[in-house]
Amino acid sequence: MRSAVPQLQDYLTVSAERLPEKVALVCGARRVSYRELEESSNALAWGLAARGVARGDRVIIFADNTVETVVAFWAALKANAVAVLVNPLTKADRLGYLLADCRPTALITDGHLEGVWKKVAQAPHLKVLVVSGRVNPVLRAGISTLVAFDELITEGVSRPAPPSLNIDIDLASIVYTSGSTGDPKGVMLTHCNMLTAATSISSYLGILEDDVILNTLPLAFDYGLYQMIMAFRQGARLILERSFTYLAEVLKVASAERITGLPGVPTIFAILAEMKSLGSFDLSSVRFVTNTAAALSLKHIDFLKRAFPGARIYSMYGLTECKRCTYLPPEDIERKPTSVGIAIPNTEVWVVDDQGNRVAPGVVGQLVVRGATVMKGYWKKPEATAKKLKPGLLPGEQVLWTGDYCKMDEEGYVYFVGRMDDIIKSRGEKVAPKEVENILVSLPGIREAAVIGVSDDLLGEAVKAFVVLEAGAQLTAKEIQNYCQSKLENFKVPKVIEFMAELPKTDTGKVKKTGLQ
């Protein structure tokens, strides 16, 4: 039963009513229609409800990018619960922390991840453990709450969704941050937050019903999750891949499916740029390319324009706490290539000093975001929430202090400078790692670079660069430093350069700087 108040799961239900036999999801050899996804998620929702999942309960979905994961996400919402997607690369200790933190009533997972979840699956608050794929008979006999995914689907077959009890200010999802500087924090997102974000982003991207969107990003990464949400909102088709690891196979599928949307992160675009056989795949159908996680470098922009001449290229910036802050309209990419753009529709952004006063154009300060996409707060972390959500322009409202240094030009375009926690203080001067990294990757022969500050008796902190060269490239540290010297002030030039085969990455493809310390 669909509520009169819009909720996130309505995207799937409305598209299933309108386009029941259209293929909604392609995942490996499986092609699943909107009707099949709607019916399966309804059935699973009833199975969860029958085993004690109630309004507001958390449901952890610890699984790969699969059909079952997609069904589980929508089923959790239809059961009036809160969906918590967890990356399948998560280890047992981290999964145990998440289980203890948000205390889910249900855990939905894959049989092949048994080595991880079996260590924590008997938490006292778990009322049901749902396992897709192969179910270990020994574990099934020993864990009374364990049930096979397919059994729950069979139990609830042909039933409409359970009655909707939520309203749009209720939680739809908790998305955990990476926890690179401490324990992961659960970002609480309401139905209103997520509906607003999907509507805003879909509008400026111009997503259409006949779009075919390739998603190689984890559904546990909000950027990956929103590819599915926005596709189903429009009745488009989602091509879901587990990762970008087997590049040639992914591109073969992309070509055969005639994809029109290609979301990525700088790591993916760097790999594509080095692929000598890229031209052998017909990707002429791509009409938009999107990037987030880190700003596009000039080299990446140039590559994307050459590789996808018919596509609109969107450089975007955001953070989990509000999904998306800004986007650079494609028509501005030539004149403002280093900008991350303007505020997304139905959002306001501005830059403040440490006292909260707005700064003049060109002055670096902290970016503040106002809008309906701003999170409700961090799960069970009131002190951390208070540092991010502060009084806004109008009485009674709260706005998000991002913790990111940015500046704005006279036209209101935002330029990302760096994370406040990442800023290097060398010789008394502030150095933004992103600025140095952009110069490094602009040097032909450098594929990726990461910059950190390291302790130095003379400088306080010295700039250290980690560099990955392109295949066949040969560069010395001195050549790289000389190039930086020609582009940067002296105090920003890396004192130390270390060559690496690969940079450590998070599950979502971001460079993991804690792994470089």
DSSP letters spanning 185-200? -EEEEEHHHHHHHHHH
Measured N-to-C along each axis, helices 433-442 and 477-487 cross at an angle, to the nearest 10 degrees, of: 110
Q: What is the pLDDT of residues 13-43, one digit of tens each?
A: 999 999 999 999 999 999 999 999 999 999 9
Q: Partners of 490 in the beta sheet?
A: none
CATH class of this structure's domain 10-18+31-167: alpha beta
Cβ–Cβ < 8 Å for 277, 302:
no
The chain-wide mean pLDDT, for the chain, equals 92
Encoded tokens for 16: 């299933």
Distance CA 170, CA 190 (A): 5
Specify the 3-state DSSP secondary structure of 129.
strand
Burial of 198 (0-12, 13-18, 19+ CB in 10 A): buried
DSSP 357: P
Q: What is the pLDDT of residues 373-405, one digit of tens each?
A: 999 999 999 999 999 999 998 999 999 999 999
**Which pLDDT value is given to residue 1?**
55
The strand pair at 460-469 and 496-499 is best described as: parallel
Q: Is the pTM of this model over 0.95?
A: no
For the chain, count helices (H), then strands (E): 15, 27
| CA-to-CA dists, residue 472 to 274, 444, 445, 501, angstroms | 11, 11, 8, 12
Q: What is the pLDDT of residues 264-285, one digit of tens each?
A: 988 888 889 889 899 999 999 9
Distance CA 172, CA 157 (A): 24
Band (pLDDT 50/70/90 cuts) for residue 179 is low
DSSP 505: B
Distance CA 137, CA 135 (A): 6
Pick the CATH number of 424-510 from 3.10.450.50, 3.30.300.30, 3.90.180.10, 3.40.109.10: 3.30.300.30
pLDDT at 73 over 70: yes
Q: Report which of residues 435 and 261 the model is more confident about.
A: 261
Mean pLDDT throughout 120-124?
89
Q: Report which of residues 244 and 327 the model is more confident about.
A: 327
**Which pLDDT value is given to residue 183?**
77
**Which pLDDT value is given to residue 142?**
84
Band (pLDDT 50/70/90 cuts) for residue 294 is low
Query: Which H/E stretch holds residue 464?
Result: strand 460-469
Distance CA 288, CA 235 (A): 17
The strand pair at 398-408 and 389-391 is best described as: antiparallel
CATH number of 192-418: 3.40.50.12780
Minimal CA–CA distance to 349: which of 322, 321, 324, 369?
369
Q: Report which of residues 158 and 165 the model is more confident about.
A: 165
Specify the 3-state DSSP secondary structure of 238.
strand
SS3 content of the chain, % helix, strand, coil (to 5): 35, 25, 40
Mean pLDDT throughout 298-321?
93
Mean pLDDT throughout 486-498?
90
Spatial CB neighbours of 201, under 8 Å, sequence gap ≥ 6: 226, 230, 323, 324, 327, 344
Distance CA 91, CA 33 (A): 33
- The domain limits of the chain are 10-18+31-167, 192-418, 424-510
Mean pLDDT throughout 211-215?
98
Dmax (CA) of the chain? 72
| CA-to-CA dists, residue 397 to 194, 393, 409, angstroms | 19, 7, 27
Mean pLDDT throughout 469-498?
92
pLDDT at 182 over 70: no
Mean pLDDT throughout 167-177?
96
Apex 221 CA angle, 121 and 223, nearest 5:
155
Q: What is the pLDDT of residues 460-482, one digit of tens each?
A: 788 999 999 998 899 999 999 99
**Which pLDDT value is given to residue 184?**
87
Apex 386 CA angle, 381 and 389, nearest 5:
115
Mean pLDDT throughout 39-64?
97
Band (pLDDT 50/70/90 cuts) for residue 3 is low
Distance CA 409, CA 407 (A): 7
Cα pseudo-dihedral 202, 229, 181, 423, rounded to 10:
-10
pLDDT at 352 over 90: yes
* Fold matches, 10-18+31-167 and 192-418: yes
**Chain centre to alpha carbon of residue 478:** 37
